[in-house]
Chain A
Amino acid sequence: MDFTKPTIEYADLWPLLVVFGVACAGVVVEAFVPRALRFVVQTLLAVAGILAALLGTILVARDLDVLGDGAARGTVDAMGTIAVDGPTVFFWGILLVFGLGGALLFAERRLEGGVSTFAGQAAALPGTEAERQASTRGLEHTEVYPLMMFALGGMMLFPAANDLLTLFVALEVLSLPLYLLCGLARRRRLLSQEAALKYFLLGAFSSAFFLYGAALIYGFSGAMGFAQINEAVRDDIGNQTLLLIGLGMLSVGLLFKVGAAPFHSWTPDVYQGAPTAVTAFMAAGTKIAAFGAMLRLYYVAFGADRWSWQPMLWVIAILTMLVGAVLAIVQTDMKRMLAYSSVAHTGFLLTGVLGVQQASELADGEVTSLQAVLFYLVTYGFSIIGAFALVTLVRDAGGEATQFARWRGLGRRSPVVAGIFAFFLLSMAGIPLTAGFVGKWAVFTVALAAGAWPVVIAAVACSIIAVFFYVRVILLMFFDDDDVAVSGEVASVTKPSVLTSATILVGVAATLVLGVVPGPVLDLAANAGQFVR
């Protein structure tokens, strides 16, 4: 048997390698740099790494080769396992931007009075002497930065993966650090640890489905690469049952990651329990990466067979929107409400995924479903990171006050913070002149154009239900009585450092600009073109 030396196209892959390299360097820093300096070194390293990777992504994006018919640009690298094409670099770009926001939120130390929001000593049991000591000595975990960088690297690899094995590896690389990060909250540690454990167990469970699905698809097509699977599907060579069961199981793994119903149940618990900075990073990053992977898998590997997976996705999309929108109404905790709202957003995004059409079916210049989903992800990412960052500011004696009752009358005490939060909520609700409106409009339109009108009607209905719980929070902040005697203790806004403020401000600016002049980003998404095959 011949052995071919694997080739790695470093020129295309170096942004990815920079992120992983910085993550490894972070581990080394933990080992060799004195404790006092670690925070500064780790933060600078992470931020510099992300900026370098962002620069690299731009450079790589600029000289992607145009392929054959001009619809797609890019190459398939590393022996066919990683596709670096227009959509990939777009995903890299937005993941790095949101990763930067996450890093800044991780580094916020002013809100907790000089320490980060992560546990002083994760190994110490909550409520024990060891924990008390850790907090009095001002210990903090700086390992969170390398963990975050590994997760970010995994997220970048996820939508770029071009075969099932790489996809699985990327899934695990992005998930494992997140499981850990979820359990590291400084306050309410039991809740945080419970969330981490749930997330881990369920994540492992869904990964098993995914892996089994991959095996079945291999059994069907005899290959792991998306291109070969596509050929096998097109030629209809294997056992159809294997294909369908495999496809279903792969879908379960991906739908779990994006938080689609009925695989959403972890979302509220984990979003609530995790440190809010992690929630912000995870809510934006995981969803973007998983949608990227899902789009590539469905469009490239199973695009020829879309009639078999679309009906299933119709039902999932409707169910997800309904569950997210309806259950968000009855929440009384800000983070859980945002979690259910993110479930609803998953449903809206799935609506966009359903809008896939052949190039020949598209009118000239019509928005493609890929483009619509990319744009929606950008708008969603900015508003969800901004919203969670704002949640970290509203505090009382026990740390973040996420109960609705504590937010009563916030609009009168801190009009600016409440106003910005209201703006994010309006964008998520899809009110015109915010980014969310253009995003929703884009995904619904492509789905309608592809004939998925029952889903679109459900989506419009759900987006109207969704408006209620967003407006309910706005009412709570601006119109409810903030008389302490009536409503009990209320929270107040703590002034954050420049790191959190910058993240929030960028989120607000992006949400506004994308609503008023969405053109440039829509163009950018259009330029991303199609997936390479």
Chain B
Amino acid sequence: MYAFNEGAIPVVAPTDADGIYSLLWLIVALPLAGAAILLIGGRFTDKWGHLLGTLMPIGSFGISLALFVDLLGRDEGQRQITQHLYSWIQVGGLDVGADLLYDPLSALFLLLITGVGSLIHVYSIGYMSHDPRRRRFFAYLNLFVAAMLTLVLAENYLGLFLGWEGVGLASYLLIGFWQHKPSAAAAAKKAFVINRVGDMGMSTAIMMFFVTFGSTSFTVISENAAGASETKLTILGLLLLLGACAKSAQFPLQAWLLDAMEGPTPVSALIHAATMVTAGVYLIVRSNFIFELAPDAQTAVVVVALISILWGAAIGCAKDDIKKGLAGSTMSQIGYMMLGAGLGAAGYAFAIFHLLTHGFFKANMFLGAGSVMHGMNDDVDMRHYGALRKMMPVTFLTFAMGYLAIIGFPGFSGFWSKDKIIETALADNWLVGICALLGAGITGFYMTRMMLMTFLGEKRWEKDVHPHESPSVMTIPLMVLAALSVLGGVMLAGDWIQDFLAPVVGTGAHEDPPLPALAITTIAVLVVASGVALAFVLFGKRDIPRTAPQDVSFVTRAARAELYGNQINDGLVVTPTRHLVGGLLAVDKHVVDGTFTGGPIAIGSLGAVARRAQNGFVRTYALSLLGGALLVVLALLAVNLA
């Protein structure tokens, strides 16, 4: 269904780094050094730690920019560069190098991570200025940036996995940064648990790569992928998708993202909006040589993406917590990127395009939300906001730019990027396209609702709250990001982004959509406009109660409860696992014991067992040994003589 390939799937064939490209390692090393200095230096670095922590990603950004400019001057065939640092694992024919790969795809990611990362570091200087553990915060942020850069610069899946685990660790530390809040600790734990599920997919995939191709290097795998059976490639694709779902908060592993909003807001902006959560999209686009040959896996990506688009949008409609509303929106927008990636060669470039513009406008809005919270004594409930535009003009205007971008107001960056994905989806399959259109309409609705509840309407805050504009160290990053949200669409000019990424992801056959492009755009704008209008009718005209009304329909209740994602997880995974553990424990402690002594099993309740010096009798152990021996022998006989 998705197999087109007029152009063949590009092969990763990098040349060795020389000249300016030999600085590649420094991009990762700078923030890593920053994290090390701040963590090891301890209190001695308290005074200037945040400045050093901010300079490091700025330095990386400088190098990334220089490399990018140089890359633009190169021939298209020369745009993949690799740097060999050292051999990580080398035995006989097996060689896993600590290698870096710099190509158009990673070049764009480097700019996004270090650029937006630097802005968020600057913003954090103001946001965290009263926090006694500010130095540690910057250390973790630096660690995150280093890990994320490793993820996108690695030349093999093992290196990518290293970065993957690294961003997970940093995200975990930062979600739980305010460890005095039990909710933050619980959220960190949840993110950790769900991400382990994804890691399971990733690590199994990596081992399968190794077994199938004898290597985990992109270069080798992309050369030989065509030789592997489709079944294997489909399994590989699904395993990678599992990893991507956990990292990118896609259905069914989305539940951690909303809780992750317990972290400081700059963290939500950097990690849970602009960069880390998009790693799943990166993984799929990077593995295009697998997915192009595994149409079933691509279909799975599309299905996951569509569910996530609508699921996230539904959550966004019901949340009164401004950050959770934005988080639902993030899930939905990443769904669009996944959709683009699932559509194959025709969509990869647009997925990355939307990823970049989303990085701008979502980081902008998260930082804007942080600025609002800063002025509202860290209150996150939008029902307590209202009419903040007069108090916080800069925040309001910059947020508005992000708002217009995300709903796809013509001319703004989000308009170009989302429109392209919808167009490609419609060309592929009308049902997919209509779902994507519907999602765009809901986006218009919930973002307008957020805008109205926060900045417009009547003021609803208490007397002792004194909203005020944030200091310029916080508003300047907002302005830069707002400008990018407006102008990001320029990347599409003259099909630049498709051409630029073509050496990595190839170019899909152009399929004509069922309608002319202009008609699709018009329909999309109309759908969004009706979403916006509905929100105006529901929230702009009426008073908004300070507490959320409880007599609401089932649909609203379900959306407020995140469509029962947590309950589903509990029912399907958590409770059965508890029973398994309890069961194993019981078997280990009671059943064998009880059987042997002939007494009722119920005698030894857990508490009674724990009071003994140790937990068992030798006769019990001997019995289990005997039973085991019998089993082993009988199994051997049964298997071989039967």
Q: Is A363 in contact with B214, judged by CB distance below 8 angstroms?
A: yes
Which residues from A are CB-within-8-Å of B602? none
Q: Is A464 in contact with B199, judged by CB distance below 8 angstroms?
A: yes
Q: Is A364 in contact with B92, judged by CB distance below 8 angstroms?
A: yes
Instruction: Take A262-B627, A365-B92, A444-B207 as given contacts and tell me if A244 and B615 are in contact as well, using a CB distance cutoff of 8 Å.
Output: no
Instruction: Take A198-B621, A240-B640, A441-B207 as given contacts and tell me if A365 and B615 are in contact as well, using a CB distance cutoff of 8 Å.
Output: no
A14 interface residue per 8 A CB criterion: no
Instruction: Take A248-B633, A449-B211 as given contacts and tell me if A479 and B94 are in contact as well, using a CB distance cutoff of 8 Å.
Output: no
CA gap between A426 and B614 in the complex, in Å: 28
A330 interface residue per 8 A CB criterion: yes
CA gap between A522 and B90 in the complex, in Å: 8
Which residues from A are CB-within-8-Å of B200? 460-461, 464
Does more than half of chain B's interface fall in helix, strand or loop, or is it mixed? helix
A90 interface residue per 8 A CB criterion: no
Which residues from A are CB-within-8-Å of B624? 262-263, 265
CA gap between A471 and B628 in the complex, in Å: 32
Which residues from A are CB-within-8-Å of B641? 240-241, 244
| Stretch in A24-32, A133-141, A153-161, A249-257 touching the partner | A249-257
| Stretch in A219-227, A309-317, A393-401 touching the partner | A309-317
CA gap between A456 and B200 in the complex, in Å: 11
| Stretch in B318-326, B428-436, B532-540, B579-587 touching the partner | B579-587
Instruction: Take A262-B624, A269-B614, A366-B214 as given contacts and tell me if A326 and B580 are in contact as well, using a CB distance cutoff of 8 Å.
Output: yes
**Interfacial residues of chain B within 560-606, with CB under 8 A of chain A in the complex:** 580-581, 584-585, 588
CA gap between A248 and B630 in the complex, in Å: 9
Q: Is A268 in contact with B615, judged by CB distance below 8 angstroms?
A: yes
B204 interface residue per 8 A CB criterion: yes
In this complex, what residue of A is CB-closest to B189? A475
B515 interface residue per 8 A CB criterion: no
Instruction: Take A311-B635, A464-B199, A464-B200 as given contacts and tell me if A244 and B585 are in contact as well, using a CB distance cutoff of 8 Å.
Output: no
**Interfacial residues of chain B within 35-76, with CB under 8 A of chain A in the complex:** none
- Mask, B622-642, CB within 8 Å of A = 1, is 101111110111011101110
Q: Is A323 in contact with B91, judged by CB distance below 8 angstroms?
A: no
**Closest approach, in angstroms, between the C-beta of A351 and any C-beta of chain B?**
11
Which residues from B are CB-within-8-Å of A523? 90-91
CA gap between A273 and B628 in the complex, in Å: 24
Q: Is B90 in contact with A519, judged by CB distance below 8 angstroms?
A: yes
**Interfacial residues of chain A within 181-213, with CB under 8 A of chain B in the complex:** 190-191, 194-195, 197-198, 201-202, 205-206, 209
Size of B's binding interface in residues, CB under 8 A: 59
| Stretch in B81-89, B138-146, B410-418 touching the partner | B81-89
A71 interface residue per 8 A CB criterion: no
**Closest approach, in angstroms, between the C-beta of B238 and any C-beta of chain A?**
13
A266 interface residue per 8 A CB criterion: yes
A367 interface residue per 8 A CB criterion: yes
Which residues from B are CB-within-8-Å of A461? 200
A433 interface residue per 8 A CB criterion: yes
CA gap between A309 and B635 in the complex, in Å: 10
Which residues from B are CB-within-8-Å of A522? 89-91
A247 interface residue per 8 A CB criterion: yes
B196 interface residue per 8 A CB criterion: yes
CA gap between A339 and B12 in the complex, in Å: 46
A505 interface residue per 8 A CB criterion: no
Pick the contact of A519: B89, B206, B635 (CB < 8 A).
B89
Q: Is A433 in contact with B162, judged by CB distance below 8 angstroms?
A: yes
**Closest approach, in angstroms, between the C-beta of B521 and any C-beta of chain A?**
45
CA gap between A297 and B482 in the complex, in Å: 69
CA gap between A202 and B618 in the complex, in Å: 7
Which residues from A are CB-within-8-Å of B88? 516-519
Pick the contact of B196: A309, A467, A526 (CB < 8 A).
A467
* A–B complex contacts, Cβ < 8 Å, 11 sampled: A194-B614, A201-B618, A244-B637, A245-B633, A312-B639, A327-B585, A432-B165, A433-B162, A441-B207, A467-B196, A519-B91
Q: Which residues of A contact B (CB under 8 A)?
A: 190-191, 194-195, 197-198, 201-202, 205-206, 209, 240-241, 244-245, 247-249, 251-252, 255-256, 261-263, 265-266, 268-269, 272-273, 308-309, 311-312, 315-316, 322-323, 326-327, 329-330, 363-367, 371, 431-433, 438, 441, 444-445, 448-449, 456-457, 460-461, 464, 467-468, 471, 479, 516-519, 522-523, 526
Taking A366-B214, A445-B207 as known contacts, 10 extra A-B pairs with beta carbons closer than 8 A to each other, sorted by chain A number, are A202-B621, A244-B636, A244-B641, A265-B616, A311-B635, A322-B584, A327-B584, A367-B91, A444-B203, A464-B197
User: What are the 5 A-B residue pairs with the smallest beta carbon separation, nearest first?
Assistant: A365-B93, A365-B92, A262-B628, A248-B633, A265-B621
Q: Which residues of B contact A (CB under 8 A)?
A: 86-94, 158, 161-162, 165-166, 176, 179, 185, 192-193, 196-197, 199-200, 203-204, 206-208, 210-211, 214, 580-581, 584-585, 588, 613-616, 618, 620-622, 624-629, 631-633, 635-637, 639-641
